[in-house]
């Protein structure tokens, strides 16, 4: 005879009950990254050529042209001095373009983000996937440029291999900064201000084309807090085959900009989607 339901003891684990399923972290940002990679794959070659064409032209025009007049900078051939800075500039531009124009198209124009958010993927996953994708494209451009530098014999130091993970960090950092602007933008025209008023001055103040010592002292103080300057100072010695004694300091600057950029971009993006 069955027991009265009121007299039954509370249900608990039994020998026949299945073991609780182990819940592992779900990397939901990965499909976002993969989706962008699959779309980009169709235009990978022209996109890659477009990303490295400008820095290569800069390297050719200034490295060989101006380099023939300048000779050397601090005992280093000018073309090597320029190449070591141009790589960081290329990563900055590539990451910024992807985090601005391409991400804005997917977020605002094509409504791709809205479609993705209909799945279990959250906004943080979409944003982090975009950050990693922009950094990946930037790293691809940086690797291609480093390969060209090696093929041309400008630098073939073994320490060039250590440049690659640093370029990945630089790409992530500028991607995070770009996503801040992306969250604030109402149209593509808004990005012109960022490129004109922020990235272009930063390019000329970060020691890419000439050493910081050539500038007035007050400009040198300003340049030392710029993220691109920290990236150049971190990467440049590796092209010369040596390590910078101040590398931890420059690395800390990049990590600080990355952390601040990510949290600000995340806050602004959530605020935009909540509006």
**Predicted local confidence at residue 263, as pLDDT:** 97
Which SS3 state, helix, strand or coil, does residue 87 take?
helix
Residue 116 banded pLDDT, cuts 50, 70, 90: very high
User: How open is the CA angle 114-120-124, to the nearest 5 degrees?
Assistant: 65
**Predicted local confidence at residue 49, as pLDDT:** 74
Q: Which helix (H) or strand (E) holds 272?
A: helix 247-274
Among 149, 194, 183, which Cα is nearest to 167's? 149
Among 36, 257, 52, 250, which Cα is nearest to 144's? 52
Q: What is the mean pLDDT of the chain?
A: 86
Does the reported pTM lie above 0.95? no
Average pLDDT, stretch 156-185?
95
- Contact present, 80 and 155 (Cβ < 8 Å): yes
How far is residue 270's CA from residue 215's CA, in Å, rounded to a whole number?
Answer: 41
Residue 26 banded pLDDT, cuts 50, 70, 90: low
**Predicted local confidence at residue 44, as pLDDT:** 74
- Contact present, 144 and 48 (Cβ < 8 Å): yes
Residue 249 banded pLDDT, cuts 50, 70, 90: very high
Residue 6 banded pLDDT, cuts 50, 70, 90: very low
- Domain boundaries, given as residue ranges, for the chain: 28-274
């Amino acid at each position: 005879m069955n027991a009265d339901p009121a007299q039954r003891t509370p249900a608990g684990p039994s020998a026949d009950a299945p073991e609780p399923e182990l819940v592992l972290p779900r990397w939901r940002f990965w499909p976002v990254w993969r989706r962008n990679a699959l779309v980009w794959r169709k235009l990978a070659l022209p996109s890659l050529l477009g990303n490295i064409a400008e820095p290569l032209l800069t390297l050719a025009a200034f490295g060989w042209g101006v380099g023939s007049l300048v000779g050397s900078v601090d005992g280093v051939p000018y073309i090597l001095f320029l190449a070591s800075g141009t790589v960081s500039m290329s990563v900055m531009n590539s990451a910024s373009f992807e985090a601005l124009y391409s991400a804005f198209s997917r977020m605002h124009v094509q409504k791709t983000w809205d479609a993705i958010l209909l799945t279990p993927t959250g906004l943080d996953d979409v944003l982090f996937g975009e950050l990693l994708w922009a950094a990946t494209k930037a790293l691809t451009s940086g690797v291609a440029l480093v390969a060209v530098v090696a093929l041309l014999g400008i630098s073939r130091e073994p320490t060039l291999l250590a440049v690659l993970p640093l370029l990945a960090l630089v790409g992530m950092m500028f991607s995070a900064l770009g996503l801040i602007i992306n969250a604030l933008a109402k149209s593509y025209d808004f990005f012109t201000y960022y490129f004109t008023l922020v990235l272009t001055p930063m390019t000329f103040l970060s020691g890419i084309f000439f050493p910081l010592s050539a500038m007035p002292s007050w400009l040198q103080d300003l340049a030392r807090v710029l993220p691109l300057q920290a990236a150049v100072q971190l990467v440049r010695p590796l092209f010369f085959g040596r390590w910078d004694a101040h590398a931890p300091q420059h690395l800390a600057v990049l990590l600080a900009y990355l952390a601040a950029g990510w949290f600000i971009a995340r806050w602004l993006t959530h605020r935009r989607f909540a509006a």
